[in-house]
Amino acid sequence: MDTFTFRMVAPVKVQNAGLFISRGKGIHPTRVISSHELIFVKNGQLEMWEEEETFTVKQGQTLHLWPERRHGGLTPLNSDLRFYWIHFEVPKPSGAIPTDAPLFTVPQVHDVTRPEKLEELFRLFLVEQESGDLNPFTANLLMTLMLVETSRPVKPARAEQDEINVIATRAHTFIRLNFDRPISACIIAEALGYNPDYLGRVYHKVFNCTITEAIHRRRIKTACKHLLEGEMTVEQIATTCGFSNPDYFRRIFRRQMDMSPTEYRDVFTHVHMNTH
């Protein structure tokens, strides 16, 4: 595999970009193009070849295809496959390249260190392109930032795990402080600045449950306390714990505690009082 190494003298020149959504039919065409192409797999797996090399590009990975090299698909496209693509050129400098110009190396297949950041750049590019507001300078700058993200080295496993723990803990703390408000996995992801799918995977990896389940657990834990210690009605407790619908609160409570809120209060109030 050939790495793509270049010095950042000026932003690269973008042609166009898109998001490919597979219908589970066909195969990537065999062709030769005059531009570089960067592919970022969002879902599924992409099987490609370029000249004598073959590539298996998985979710969260990028593939760089060289200009003037024949490439194509190895296998039929799966129905769950989605990938971003963008074509660009690297203008030849008009003079000598400064020795202090930043040097970037893009592996041909790469595990992206911050996939949510790269996807954010692609989304911004496509939104601006679709609206017609994408001027050449902004387009080239966004492409440059994509290459910078793609050139980031893979972090050591320990450092990566530490970062995952920090991100998941931030989400966990947010739930603890805001569970009584109208929150959801998407709201938490937006508040913390992460892609919802990515944050959900990280949280589940660390805490072994979904963000929605964690919100419900925190709310039900607090509801149990109110049922034992106060005189609030079930409806009041539901509202206090962040549930907008008392009936939904009752369903979640029964799912977690195997009894209704009223049954819980009746069964455990006397036991609770005798423990003091």
pLDDT of 272 reads 44
The predicted model scores a pTM of: 0.57
Q: Do 140 and 192 have their domain in common?
A: no
Domain extent, residue 194, equals: 155-276
pLDDT of 5 reads 67
pLDDT of 99 reads 61
Q: Do 212 and 84 have their domain in common?
A: no
Of 131, 151, 171, the domain-final residue: 151
Q: Do 161 and 231 have their domain in common?
A: yes
Inter-residue contact 103 to 7 (CB < 8 Å): yes
What is the tally of structural domains in the chain?
2
DSSP code of residue 31: B
pLDDT of 274 reads 42
Q: How far apart are CA 146 and CA 86, in angstroms?
A: 10
Q: Do 139 and 168 have their domain in common?
A: no
Of 105, 132, 151, the domain-final residue: 151
pLDDT tens for the chain, residues 1 to 276: 667 765 555 668 999 999 999 988 889 999 999 999 999 999 999 999 999 999 999 999 999 999 999 999 999 999 999 999 999 998 876 666 566 666 778 899 999 988 999 999 999 999 999 998 899 989 999 999 999 999 888 766 676 788 899 999 999 999 999 999 999 999 999 999 999 999 999 999 999 999 999 999 999 999 999 999 878 999 999 999 999 999 999 999 999 999 999 999 988 775 544 443
Q: Do 146 and 165 have their domain in common?
A: no
Q: Are strands 13-21 and 103-106 parallel, antiparallel or unpaired?
A: unpaired
Q: Do 9 and 126 have their domain in common?
A: yes
Q: Are strands 45-50 and 71-73 parallel, antiparallel or unpaired?
A: antiparallel
Q: Do 169 and 125 have their domain in common?
A: no
Question: Which CATH number fits the domain that encloses residue 63?
Answer: 2.60.120.280
pLDDT of 47 reads 95
Nearest to 254 by CA among 244, 262, 266: 262
Q: Do 53 and 103 have their domain in common?
A: yes
